[in-house]
């Protein structure tokens, strides 16, 4: 009888351990970065694993090696990237019960596309760190890592024709290029951002899937010199037809018409707007621990 009680307690302990298991985390890097750079995504993966014992962290790699992963952040059609990621997630048995997602810079809006287009396995919380959810415009004041020559070429290409078919199909940054002086061209020809932001009509599935999130956390860098305008990180943007005055999310038609469900999510307390002092993706380890980790635990 005593042995039976011990066996039952062991089984209960195992079940409780399973119930308390950490929710897996999927992270997607930004422009010019790769899944496993020890100074960026590799570092984030390591500190999360150190602080949340037993957590499964998947740092997304698009391509067969790190060089391809970095190059694809510039040149692989974003819709193809999202499809590839959805396939990776669906095939990963560790994610079948759901996962949290954390995207850095352009990885933030790319993971939002995953949430909207691929509800299985379910994304529970989405944390966008510097993601440009209303797009960005007017070049890159600076460029990550060793990619300055690539960014120089991108600037020239975008200036020549961001909304041409060839550029849209083969240049990632053109796919979330949002020119307030060419709103009609943007709405008509943007093959990625205009779609996920419901600029050409309402896809009720996109809306339903995004609203299924428990929390949608948006981090804005208050001294950002890379994203133009920085308020895009909180879903704000320039007033149409000019590039000086900006409007916050709640004054955009996306919110007032609730085309994406953000108004309803806001009323339900699902939207979290965080500001951090510093330039694009510049934050301290302490800030990450105290501000971001609670959403993963």
Q: What is the pLDDT of residues 207-221, one digit of tens each?
A: 999 999 999 999 999
Q: What is the pLDDT of residue 297?
A: 86
Does the annotation mark 105 as catalytic? yes
- Distance, in Å, from the CA atom of 64 to the CA atom of 273, rounded to the nearest integer, reads 35
- The reported pLDDT for the residue numbered 148 is 62
Which CATH code, of 3.40.50.1820, 3.40.390.10, 3.40.710.10, 1.10.10.10, is assigned to 25-295? 3.40.50.1820
Domain ranges of the chain: 25-295
Rounded to a whole number of angstroms, the CA Rg of the chain reads 20
pLDDT at 185: 93
The pLDDT, as a whole number, for residue 21 is 87
pTM score: 0.89
69 is catalytic: no
| From 139-148, 163-172, 174-183, 287-296, the region with the lowest mean pLDDT | 139-148
pLDDT at 9 over 60: no
**Residue 4 confidence (pLDDT):** 43
Predicted pLDDT at 243:
84
56-60 mean pLDDT: 98
Q: With cut-offs at 50, 70 and 90, classify the pLDDT of residue 138.
A: low
CA atoms within 13 A on the CB side of 100: 22
User: What is the predicted pLDDT for the residue at 226?
Assistant: 86
User: Do 59 and 34 contact (CB within 8 A), yes or no?
Assistant: no
Six-digit token pair at 246? 């900006």
Catalytic residue (one of 29, 133, 178, 280): 280
| Per-residue confidence (pLDDT) for residue 284, from 0 to 100 | 95
Distance CA 85, CA 114 (A): 8
**Structure token pair of residue 227:** 């994203």
Q: What is the predicted pLDDT for the residue at 150? A: 74
Whether 268 shows a pLDDT value over 60: the answer reads: yes
Task: Quote the pLDDT of residue 238.
Answer: 92
Active-site residue (options: 34, 59, 73, 105): 105
Q: State the catalytic residue, choosing from 224, 228, 232, 258.
A: 224
Tens-digit pLDDT profile for residues 21-57: 899 999 999 998 999 999 999 999 999 999 999 999 9
- Residue 145's region, left for phi above 0, alpha for psi from -120 to 50, else beta, is left
**Residue 8: pLDDT over 60:** no
Gap between the Cα atoms of 89 and 292, Å rounded: 22
User: What pLDDT is attached to residue 143?
Assistant: 60
Question: Averaged over 169-185, what is the pLDDT?
Answer: 91
Separation between Cα atoms, residue 234 and residue 131, nearest integer Å: 8
Average pLDDT over every residue of 136-149:
60
- What pLDDT is recorded for position 151? 72
Is 159 catalytic? The answer is no
């Amino acid at each position: 009888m005593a042995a039976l009680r011990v066996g039952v307690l062991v089984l209960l302990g195992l079940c409780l351990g399973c119930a308390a298991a950490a929710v897996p985390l999927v992270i997607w890097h930004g422009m010019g970065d790769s899944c496993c750079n020890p100074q960026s995504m590799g570092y984030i993966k390591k500190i999360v694993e150190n602080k949340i014992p037993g957590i499964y962290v998947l740092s997304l790699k698009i391509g067969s090696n790190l060089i391809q992963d970095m190059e694809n952040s510039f040149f692989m059609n974003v819709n193809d990237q999202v499809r590839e990621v959805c396939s990776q997630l669906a095939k990963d048995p560790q994610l079948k019960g759901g996962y949290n997602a954390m995207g850095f810079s352009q990885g933030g809006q790319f993971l939002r596309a995953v949430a909207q287009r691929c509800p299985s396995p379910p994304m529970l919380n989405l944390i966008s760190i510097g993601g440009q959810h209303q797009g960005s415009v007017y070049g890159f004041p600076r460029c990550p890592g060793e990619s300055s020559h690539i960014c120089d070429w991108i600037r020239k290409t975008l200036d020549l024709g961001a909304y041409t078919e060839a550029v849209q199909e083969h240049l990632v940054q053109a796919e979330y290029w949002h020119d307030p002086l060419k709103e009609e061209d943007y709405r008509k020809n943007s093959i990625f951002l205009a779609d996920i932001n419901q600029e050409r009509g309402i896809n009720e599935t996109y809306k339903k899937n995004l609203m299924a999130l428990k929390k949608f956390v948006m981090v804005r860098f208050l001294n950002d010199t890379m994203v133009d305008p920085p308020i895009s990180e909180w879903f704000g943007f320039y007033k149409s037809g000019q590039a000086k005055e900006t409007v916050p999310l709640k004054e955009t038609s996306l919110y007032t018409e609730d085309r994406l469900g953000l108004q309803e999510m806001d009323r339900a307390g699902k939207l979290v707007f965080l500001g951090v002092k510093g330039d694009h993706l510049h934050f301290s380890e302490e800030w990450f621990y105290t501000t971001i980790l609670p959403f993963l635990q």
